[in-house]
Amino acid sequence: MRSRKYNPKTVTVFISMCVLAVVMLYPFAFMINTSFKSKEQYFGAPGRSTVSWVKLFDTLPVWKQLLNSTLVCAGAISIILVVATMAGFAIAKMRSKATPIFFLGIVGAMLIPLQSIIIPAYINASKLNLLNGYWGAIFVYAALGSPFATFLMTSYFRGIPDDLVEAAIVDGLSYPKVFLKIALPLAIPAIITVIVLQFIQVWDDLLVGLLFIQDPAYRTITVGLGALSAGRVTDIPVLMAGSLVSAIPAVVVYLIFQRQLVNGLTAGIGK
């Protein structure tokens, strides 16, 4: 048998990817290993235990907070999709003299850091009595996610041939019907990309949920974990168990839609 020759560049890339994979997967291995220890075992006692998982579900309403996170994500992503798809189509296909200025404003909104607007947003939400339920966090997440989603949808809609839109209009379709019957079905990869990216962003966020959800009954899972670690003494194994529960949905969503995510990003921004 002839020996296989390896390209030095291929070997270097493979080794680099293995090192990167170890660096990225180590936190999950640490979380899993630590979550199956008691507090005494974490500090050196031998053995494994599920006491941290039992304590987690006794301390926090985990299922309720997971449901709260799901509702907040669903509400924010729904608003983002409605705004981004309509605005992206209008900018890409219904051009006017103000279109470049409007698009420049969207790009500028992407560059505004959350910390610079969090105080006025909190004051406005407080005046509108939006802090005792889901809506305060939903509206803030939607406002933060809409600029990038609109930018992505605009880039994707620009890849749809203008001749196709013009032919549909000549055949008697109005712009709203062209949007619903032609543009949206073609933009499914970009829509899935927006859903996945915004889901991960909203699900993992702590600051907005902590400030804009004041009622403990509406806390998301990340806010619950933040409250769990706010005491004088933090039970690390319990916190790792909760962190693992919080991380699993985002990881599962990414693994399911990773192919569509890559296709949406390359097809949208590339065009």
| pLDDT tens for each residue of 28-63 | 898 898 889 888 888 878 888 888 899 889 888 999
pLDDT at 146: 92
pLDDT at 45: 82
Whether this prediction's pTM lies above 0.75 is answered by yes
pLDDT tens digits for 80-111? 999 999 999 988 888 778 888 888 888 888 88
As a CATH number, domain 57-270 is 1.10.3720.10
Domain residue spans of the chain:
57-270
Runs of H (alpha helix) within the chain: 8-35, 39-42, 51-59, 62-93, 99-110, 118-127, 135-158, 162-170, 175-178, 184-186, 188-204, 207-212, 221-228, 236-270
User: Which residue numbers in the chain have pLDDT < 50?
Assistant: 1, 268-271
CB atoms within 10 A of CB 215: 10
pLDDT at 84: 93
pLDDT at 96: 78
